[in-house]
Amino acid sequence: MKNLRGLLLAFLILSFGISDFPQAQDQQGFISLDCGLQANESPYTEPMTKLTFRSDADFIKSGKSGKIQNVPGMEYIKPYTVLRYFPDGVRNCYTLSVVQDTNYLIVAMFNYGNYDNLNRHPKFDLYLGPNIWTTVDLQRHVNGTRAEIIHVPRSTSLQICLVKTGTTTPLISALELRPLRNGTYIPQSGSLKKLFRVYLTDSKDIVRYPEDVHDRLWSPFFMPEWKLLRTSLTVNTSDDNGYDIPEDVVVTAATPANVSSPLTISWNLETPDDLVYAYLHTAEIQSLRDNDTREFNISAGHDVNYGPVSPDEFLVGTLYNTSPVKCEGVTCHLQLIRTLKSTLPPLLNAIEAFITLEFPQSETNANEVIAIKSIEKSYQLSRISWQGDPCVPQQFLWDGLTCEYTNMSTPPRIHSLDLSSSELTGIIVPEIQNLTELQKLDLSNNNLTGAVPEFLAKMKSLLVINLSKNNLSGSVPQALLDKVKNGLKLK
Ligand SMILES: *[C@@H]1O[C@H](CO)[C@@H](O)[C@H](O)[C@H]1NC(C)=O
Ligand SMILES: *[C@@H]1O[C@H](CO)[C@@H](O)[C@H](O)[C@H]1NC(C)=O
Ligand SMILES: *[C@@H]1O[C@H](CO)[C@@H](O)[C@H](O)[C@H]1NC(C)=O
Ligand SMILES: *[C@@H]1O[C@H](CO)[C@@H](O)[C@H](O)[C@H]1NC(C)=O
Ligand SMILES: *[C@@H]1O[C@H](CO)[C@@H](O)[C@H](O)[C@H]1NC(C)=O
Ligand SMILES: *[C@@H]1O[C@H](CO)[C@@H](O)[C@H](O)[C@H]1NC(C)=O
Ligand SMILES: *[C@@H]1O[C@H](CO)[C@@H](O)[C@H](O)[C@H]1NC(C)=O
Ligand SMILES: *[C@@H]1O[C@H](CO)[C@@H](O)[C@H](O)[C@H]1NC(C)=O
Ligand SMILES: *[C@@H]1O[C@H](CO)[C@@H](O)[C@H](O)[C@H]1NC(C)=O
Ligand SMILES: *[C@@H]1O[C@H](CO)[C@@H](O)[C@H](O)[C@H]1NC(C)=O
Ligand SMILES: *[C@@H]1O[C@H](CO)[C@@H](O)[C@H](O)[C@H]1NC(C)=O
């Protein structure tokens, strides 16, 4: 019996014209934050990568700066030597401005380096908006770790939150956002969490920006049963599929040393339910003779067989599955199998693999988020819990709010706002009326001045208003008194 997943799967070379798309040169659209960097040292250009890093201070309101200790034998570029740690609050969030509906490579870098001299490696959770992204475990990754995802933000603001889950203190070293070309790395559903990105070489060098215009980080990888191919000729990387593969990662390739064996790459997943996407970057880098053919099939388990493929000579192509693939259990075996007519063994230059991650929880209604942030600003509130999404996840609901939750796919709405005894001064601000589903408003025991505004009478959902113990002047508007007759509770 044929499996549906297998039938749906198709590896293909994508080729649609996006040549009019601006080249992502010169760090255009990059966000490079050196977390914990002092404002007076910002910005600076990191000499190895030529990346311009700036302080994260404008993007988060909590946390403190730390600096890692020197570890003999370990060298980190400067942005990964300072960090921001979060001794206060359970959830601490960055708010970044992004271009809506653009595909971003989002990288968060974590390096403990015994900055606090306590030798207590932290473990905590990382969230993207209201949804969990990953667990950061620096007890397992003592030399630092990277979290990486390809994600399309559906609004102009992106929140990245560190959530304390145990007794250790969350920290972050750097945040790096890189726009990718539209139409590349798009799964059928969800976002792509990186498993690995390697180029097949005997070199020790990691390739990233500026060689890679999107600052993807390519690690070297090679297996003893492979034979290395290398070319000194130019490989054309300006293919029209938009993946912008750096030439440095395709001038080498691996073929099986035993020319009749397949080329096999295996890896493990965390759960057997993980859905995998793989991107294979290939270019023929041998000058083929007339009687040479290199042709192979790509197989992954029982269900997936695609081919035959023949890499273009000195031109990069990208092959990937357009439908998600499940591996057998927790182990994935990708094989490149020589076809009968091929005179040469299969070849592979570079490969990336991802699993999909779903972000099912909707963010709070966007207009209400704007309104509540504007209220926060007007009254200069600084509450540690007022970070990240106001309503979700529910365990991190902002102090003084209650929300209505219909289901995960419906944006939550703010139902009550309690700012009593919050040392508020000034007038009752008009942004309150943008919380259109507000049922209960408590502004009692503050120093508010000015008139009781007319707009309160127009807020259809309001059932309870408490304005007692303030310095408000004038009389209560007639419209509001009329509503009291109809059941509104007003103090
Ligand atoms: C990317 O492409 C999609 C579909 O073609 C389109 O809806 C979207 O607006 C594009 N985004 C950008 C930033 O160009
Ligand atoms: C961390 O780095 C040290 C020094 O290079 C090395 O000995 C150790 O194996 C590394 N640990 C891990 C988990 O990578
Ligand atoms: C590289 O390949 C593209 C797409 O096939 C082609 O349009 C372009 O002319 C090639 N460039 C060179 C220098 O051969
Ligand atoms: C090469 O691979 C083939 C098929 O996998 C196998 O039969 C043969 O013994 C291998 N040759 C060597 C020298 O390992
Ligand atoms: C291909 O042609 C070359 C000479 O052009 C010859 O040396 C070689 O043996 C041929 N290979 C095959 C598999 O026929
Ligand atoms: C390669 O795939 C084709 C179908 O696409 C199939 O007919 C052929 O038998 C396969 N060859 C090998 C060696 O797997
Ligand atoms: C409140 O809503 C109005 C009308 O939708 C809008 O013009 C205004 O910018 C909003 N203000 C805030 C602070 O959200
Ligand atoms: C969520 O609630 C909305 C509004 O009531 C409804 O239209 C939608 O079908 C619900 N979705 C799910 C997945 O239950
Ligand atoms: C009002 O302001 C005065 C003077 O600043 C202060 O002493 C008092 O505590 C405030 N009252 C409230 C309820 O915040
Ligand atoms: C304000 O009045 C409402 C309605 O009477 C009441 O529920 C609420 O507890 C009061 N707030 C405070 C801080 O006493
Ligand atoms: C509040 O009003 C009282 C009486 O009108 C006045 O004495 C006091 O100074 C006012 N407090 C503030 C903080 O405006």
Same domain, residue pair 31 and 172:
yes
Flag whether 342 is in a domain: yes
Same domain, residue pair 351 and 377:
no
Same domain, residue pair 139 and 235:
no
Interval between CA 406 and ligand 8 midpoint (Å): 7
Flag whether 225 is in a domain: yes
Same domain, residue pair 52 and 97:
yes
Same domain, residue pair 294 and 337:
yes
Type and span of the H or E element at 481: helix 478-485
Same domain, residue pair 300 and 440:
no
Sign of CA dihedral 300, 305, 306, 308: positive
Q: Which of 179, 214, 243 is the last residue of a domain?
A: 179
- Nearest Cα neighbor of 422 from 386, 390, 455 is 386
In short, whether 406's Cβ falls inside 6 Å of ligand 8 is yes
In short, whether 258's Cβ falls inside 6 Å of ligand 4 is yes
Give the tokens for residue 477.
């508007």
Q: Which of 357, 389, 418 is the last residue of a domain?
A: 357
Interval between CA 196 and ligand 9 midpoint (Å): 57
Flag whether 184 is in a domain: no
- What is the number of the ligand 11 atom nearest to the C-alpha of 425? 13
In which domain, by residue range, is 221 found?
194-357
- Look-up of token digits 């959830």: 91
- Nearest Cα neighbor of 3 from 234, 369, 325 is 325
Interval between CA 180 and ligand 1 midpoint (Å): 12
Query: Three-state DSSP class for 441?
Result: strand
Same domain, residue pair 157 and 262:
no
Same domain, residue pair 83 and 135:
yes
- Nearest Cα neighbor of 212 from 222, 199, 223 is 199
Question: Residue 64: which CATH number?
Answer: 2.60.120.260
Flag whether 468 is in a domain: yes
The number of folded domains in the chain is: 3
CA distance 240 to 170: 42
Q: Which of 136, 152, 179 is the last residue of a domain?
A: 179
Flag whether 214 is in a domain: yes
Chunked mean pLDDT (size 10), the chain, 491 residues: 25 27 67 96 93 96 95 86 96 96 97 96 97 97 95 94 97 98 95 97 94 96 97 90 94 97 96 96 96 96 88 96 92 96 97 97 94 95 92 95 95 97 95 96 95 93 94 90 87 81
pTM of the prediction?
A: 0.88
Flag whether 186 is in a domain: no
Same domain, residue pair 283 and 376:
no
CA distance 66 to 470: 43
Same domain, residue pair 18 and 139:
yes
Choosing from 447, 466, 467, 470 the residue with most ligand 9 atoms within 8 A of its CB, the one to mutate for a pocket test is 447
Question: Residue 246: which CATH number?
Answer: 2.60.120
In short, whether 376's Cβ falls inside 6 Å of ligand 7 is no
**Predicted pLDDT at 436:** 95
Same domain, residue pair 154 and 216:
no
**Predicted pLDDT at 25:** 54
Same domain, residue pair 347 and 480:
no
* DSSP 8-state assignment for residue 483: H
